[in-house]
Amino acid sequence: MCHKIVCSSLPLLSIILCGLIGVSLANNLAGYEGYTKYTVQHGNENAFRAMVDLQTNDADLDFWLLTRNMSVLTVSPKRKTQFEQRLSNLGVRYEVQPLMELMAMLEGNSTYSDEDQYLTEEDEATEECQQGECESQRPRRRSRRQARGFFSHYPRYNEILSFMSGLASRYPQYCRYESIGRSNEGRHIAALSISLNTRTRPRRVAYIQAAAHGREWITTQTVLYLAYELLSNLRAFQRVLNDVEVFLVPLVNPDGYEYTHSTDRFWRKNRHRYAGHTCAGVDINRNFGNHWNYQGASQNLCSEVYSGTAPNSEPETSAVVRYLEFNRNRVKLSLDVHSFGKFIFYPYGYARNTVPPTVGTLRSVALRAANQIGKYRGTRYTIGTSASILYEASGSLDDFAYGNLGIPLSYTLELPGEEFHVASSDIIHVCKETFAGFIEFIRHVSLY
C-alpha cells in the first residue's frame, strides 16, 4: 500500500486565501478547516464494497464520486487517522490533498456573481452600430451581451428567477414561466415551458431538470443555456420543436442551492429540518418512489444519501412527481442533470443485473447524444446503468420515470467538472457542448 500527498506552495496559497477574505467563499467553506480530500484507487471488489458500505452508512464521510475503480471523498480531521487505518487494512492506494488548499486554487477563477461586472456588460451592449440599424439591432445585441455575462458566473436564486421570467417576457408567444411547487423553505420551484404553438398543447414533452443536489452548480447553467439558445434561435430549431414542448426545471432544490452559496459549499441534500435533530436534509435523488431505500440509500438522517421518511416525501420530489404523473401520457423524455463524472445513465440503477426491455434503444440514443457532445471539444462520456458503472442506488428519477410512469427515454446526465467546480471561464463551454447533447435527446422525442 502506498499513498501520495498533493500540495502546492504555501506562500502562493496564503496570497490566494487572503484575496478571498470577504467574499462568499469565506462563509460557505466555514467549518472545513483541516478537512482532506482523498482519491482512492480500489484494488479489488472487496475494497469497492467496503467503500460503498462507508458511503451508505458513515455519515461523517462525504463521497463526491464513487465508481467501481475509484472513490473521491472528503474527511474531517477527527476521522483522518481512523480512515487512513481503514484504507491501510484494505491495501488500497490513495492520494490526499488539503481541502482548503484545493478550494483556494480553484477559486482563483472566481465563479461567484459579480453584480458590478454584470451591469457593466449590460451597459456595454449599447455599443456603436451602423446608421439606420441602432434601434433594431441594439436590443438583440444587449440581450446577447447580457447572456454572455450571465453564463460567466454562478447566479443566486433570485437572479435565476429574474433570468427565467425575462425570457418569458421577451418571448411570450413561445415561452411560459411558472412554478411547479414550493420547496421546504417556501421557494418556488420555477419552470419554463418552450413550445412553438402555445395555443395547442403539443403531443410530446421533453422534461429536463437540474440541481437536485445543491452543490452541483453547473447543472443549472446548462439548462438555462438550453432555454436561452432555443428561444434566441427558434427558426433554427423549428424542426426539433415542431411537435415537442420542452419543459425545464433548472433548480429542483433551490434551498440546497442557496445554502451552498451562503453556508456550506458541499451541501448535497434539501433543507428539510427535523425537530429535535441537528442533522437536516433528504437526498432528493434517493427519494423517488421506485425501489425506495432498496440499495445505496440510508435511513440515517445524518447520511448524505438519507432517503427520507417515505417515497416522494419531500415537497421538491412530490412537485416533480405531480407534474410527471399529470403529463405521463405526453412526457417522452425525462432527463435529470447532475455533476460530476461525464456519465450518461439509463435505468435501472437500483440493481446491477437489472436492465429494461428497451435497453437497446436507451443505449443507442445515449450514444448519439454523447457523440454530439464530443464534437464540440472532444469531451467523452461513459454510458450505461449507474449500478454497473458506479454502484447500486435506488430512488432516482430515471428509475421512477421509466419504471413507474413508462416514460420511454429516461436518463441521468453527469456533467464534467471536478470537485463540483467548473471555472468561470469554462462555464460557457460546458453549456455549449451539453446543449448539443440536449438537442439530440429532444430530437428523439418526436419519434414517439
Catalytic residues: 414
**Which residues lie below 8 Å from residue 237, measured CB to CB, with a gap of 6+?**
230, 439
| Angle separating helix axes 217-232 and 424-445, nearest 10 degrees | 60
- Is 3:95 a contact under the CB 8 Å cutoff? yes
What count of other Cβ atoms lies within 10 Å of the Cβ of residue 387? 23
Taking the C-alpha atoms of residue 446 and residue 407, their distance in angstroms, rounded to an integer, is 13
Which residues, 6 or more positions from 29, have their beta carbon under 8 angstroms from its beta carbon? 100, 103, 265
Q: Are 109 and 424 in contact (CB under 8 A)?
A: yes
C-alpha cell at 179: 412554478
Assess contact for 58 and 76: CB atoms under 8 A.
Answer: no
For CA atoms 315, 320, 326, 328, the dihedral sign is negative
What angle is formed at CA 365 by the lines to CA 202 and CA 324, rounded to 5 degrees?
Answer: 40
Q: Would you give the end-to-end CA distance of the chain in angstroms?
A: 53
Pairwise CA distance, residues 53 & 251, whole Å: 30
Pairing of strands 244-249, 204-210: parallel
Residue 429 CB burial class (10 angstroms; 0-12, 13-18, ≥19): middle
What is the CA angle 212-214-219, rounded to 5? 65
* 3-class state of residue 178 by DSSP: strand
The answer to whether the Cα torsion of 434, 438, 443, 448 is positive or negative is positive
Strands 244-249 and 188-194, sheet pairing: antiparallel
